[in-house]
Chains A and B, each alone.
Chain A
Amino acid sequence: MSRGRIELVIGAVLAAILLAVSFAPGLFAGPPEAVEVTRRLEAPSAQFWFGTDETGRDVYARVVHGAGTTLGIVGAAIAVAALLGGGLGAVAGYMGRVPDLALSRAADALLAFPPIILGVVLASTLGAGAGNLILALAIIYAPVFFRVARAAGLMESQRAYVEAARALGHGEWAVLLRHVARNVAPVVILQCVILFPLALQIQAALGFLGLGVPPPTADWGASLQESRNYLTVAPWLAIFPGLALLLAAIAASLLGRALQMRDG
């Protein structure tokens, strides 16, 4: 097996596990919010694989249930950003002129901020909660999709088949939706995989700063924030949610690389 193949297989297996855990956490662990103060801050054991936290909750259960929260928010944000940024980008690139100019400047303005700083401002402006976090992340990454889709749309608009479709009497929107969109889509999908690990890190960082989902919902970044005061007393509180983040990012990176290699 070639090295690219091995990377693809590892990435796919990791992604499959994470998906299964995200969609059916109940199959893998007990309730994440069961408080039992008598067993607080217990080290990892046969009963509690990842130990217990400051209120005696099972860290393993919280990591398992956190997958759906964390990865779900990132996945939804990337999807919204791809639809919004990718759609507008394809239109701008294909149409050119005023819409292109206006949208490009708006995208530039958003891209001028370092992502985490924009995230902090947006998340604290919008307020806590999963929906707002998705919106904040989507606003950060929509301009990236916009740029990629715009370039692709521009290239497609100069192709011979577009001219042929026009000559056949198809309207601009019909050409855009039926032909151009179909050719821009693969670029946008690849970008989803590339941006996933980056968005994941921002999501986790915002959770760590207390700008993510409010407690007691299980979320990897939020768990890391809660672990801060127990770093030396109960290091397992920080180790395991972080490892989960690391694995998810590695899975996405490996898949992204495999896809890029295939496309050459």
Chain B
Amino acid sequence: MTEALLRRLGAALVTMVLATGAVFLLIRAVPGDAIGEMLGQSAGDPAAEAALRAFFGLDRPLWSQYLAWAGDVLQGDLGTSMRQGLPVAGIIFDAFLVTLEIGLVTLVVAILVGVPLGLAAGARPGGIFDMVVEGFTLLGLSAPVFWTGMVLLILADAWLGWAPPLIYTPPGISLADNLEGILLPVLALGLLQAAAYAQFTRQQTAALLRQDFVRAATARGLPARVIFGRHVLRNIAIPLVTYAGLILVQILGGVVVVETLFGIPGLGRTLLAAIQGRDYPVLQGALLLAVLVALLVNLLIDLAYAAIDPRVRGA
């Protein structure tokens, strides 16, 4: 168990180094850099350019830049934004909190809507309700999230005459304003993820009902409600919890586009702004965080499975 875990951690570390290294090179391969953007009018003055380049360490070879960055990261220093002059860690932390709030609220919505639908559909595979749920999942998984968001904006205006503020208020300042701002983004993301959750729950439930021990319980004359509560729910609870981790990673990825649509200053918008402004430190920090979260969740899921199912441990 420990050996397998260590091996997995090692692989995750290698992936981390490769991924951040690739990104490091990639974003520097772009024609035009932050210095050109920064100088604007006075671009073309070689002395000014050279001075700025030296100041940000951009005159050094790429491998030395990467090592310097990686060394700082290991000491907990993500660097300073080239555009804002603020510590990258602070910028990214603030943005991540915003994205995380939306992600967690969306996750709750997805579970509250998706799990009951999936359970009901999986209980009677092929039934009418199952078909309705299947239609819902097909629709939810096929609609682009940002388009769902646009349709919600259109409907809110047409039916309620209401337009959301399109400004993000932190929950600490006004919870009501905060919720008003994140309502539509959460609904748009929630529809997609509820569909994913319903599909997963349905599969798990239907597969479990075909298992021998469930059939044996039925043969023993146990009422359906007892079978469902004692055998089915208890067995699918664990996959459903681990699935939450995967969904959260997906939400954090998908929120990029939705943040742009609804004007939410989260990680996605920060990332886009950093790309447009060639703000390398912010971009590297944001991407590092994205990769870190994804790897961490995958590792946790592996661990959870190993804890539940002894057969997985050696693998």
- Tell me whether A205 and B144 are in contact (CB under 8 A): yes
Q: Does B104 contact A (CB under 8 A)?
A: no
Q: Provide 18 A-B residue pairs closer than 8 Å at the C-beta atoms, listed in order of the A residue.
A: A109-B22, A112-B16, A120-B256, A120-B275, A124-B30, A125-B30, A201-B144, A204-B144, A204-B146, A204-B147, A205-B146, A205-B257, A208-B261, A209-B272, A232-B153, A238-B154, A242-B143, A253-B142
Our pick among B14, B144, B254 for the contact of A105 (Cβ within 8 Å) is B14
Mask: chain B, 1-33; 1 = CB below 8 Å from A; 0 = not = 000000000010011101100110011011100
CA distance A47 to B221 in the complex (A): 66
Q: Is A108 an interface residue when CB atoms closer than 8 A count as contact?
A: yes
Binds A, one of B86-94, B114-122, B174-182, B245-253: B245-253
CB of B173 closer than 8 Å to a CB of A: no
Contacts A116-B257, A121-B26, A224-B147 known; A246 to B290 CB distance under 8 Å?
A: no
The A interface, classified by DSSP as helix, strand, loop or mixed, is: helix
Minimum CB–CB distance from B18 to chain A (whole Å) comes to: 4
Query: Once the chains bind, are A249 and B143 in contact (CB under 8 Å)?
Result: yes
| A135 located at the interface, meaning its Cβ lies under 8 Å from any Cβ of chain B in the complex | no
Task: Give chain B's interface residue range (CB within 8 Å of chain A).
Answer: 35 or more
In the complex, A238→B143 CA distance in Å? 13
A16 within 8 A of B: no
Chain B contacts for A228, CB-based, 8 A: 150, 261
Question: Is A112 within 8 A of B15, CB to CB?
Answer: yes
Q: Contact mask A226-264 → B, CB, 8 Å, 1/0? A: 011001100100110010011001100110000000000
**Contact, CB under 8 Å: A113 / B141:** no
CA distance A254 to B137 in the complex (A): 12
**A114 located at the interface, meaning its Cβ lies under 8 Å from any Cβ of chain B in the complex:** yes
Identify A250's interface contact among B15, B138, B268, CB under 8 A.
B138
A65 to chain B, nearest CB (A): 19
User: A238 is contacted by which of B23, B126, B151, B268 (Cβ under 8 Å)?
Assistant: B151
| Residues in chain B within 8 A of chain A (CB atoms) | 11, 14-16, 18-19, 22-23, 26-27, 29-31, 126, 131, 138-139, 141-147, 150-151, 153-154, 157-158, 163, 249-250, 252-254, 256-257, 260-261, 268, 271-272, 275-276, 283, 287, 290-291, 294-295
Cβ–Cβ contact B294 & A113, under 8 A: yes
User: What does the 1/0 interface line of A41-64 toward B look like (CB < 8 Å)?
Assistant: 000000000000000000000000
Interchain CB contact under 8 A, A253 and B249: no
Among residues 186 to 205 in chain A, which have CB atoms less than 8 Å away from a CB atom of chain B?
197, 201, 204-205
* Minimum distance in angstroms from B183 CB to a CB of chain A: 16
User: Does residue A117 face the partner (Cβ distance < 8 Å to B)?
Assistant: yes
Known contacts A205-B144, A227-B150, A238-B147; is A117 also within 8 Å of B138 by CB?
A: no
**Bound-complex Cα distance A204 to B16 (A):** 28
Closest 7 CB pairs of A and B: A114-B253, A249-B142, A109-B18, A242-B147, A109-B19, A235-B154, A232-B157
Contact yes or no, A105 B163, CB < 8 A: no
Taking CB atoms, residues of chain A closer than 8 Å to B126 are: 3
Query: Across the interface, do A120 and B271 meet the contact criterion of CB distance under 8 Å?
Result: yes
**Does A106 reach chain B (CB closer than 8 Å)?**
yes
Residues of A122-159 at the interface with B, using a CB-CB cut-off of 8 Å, are: 122, 124-125, 127
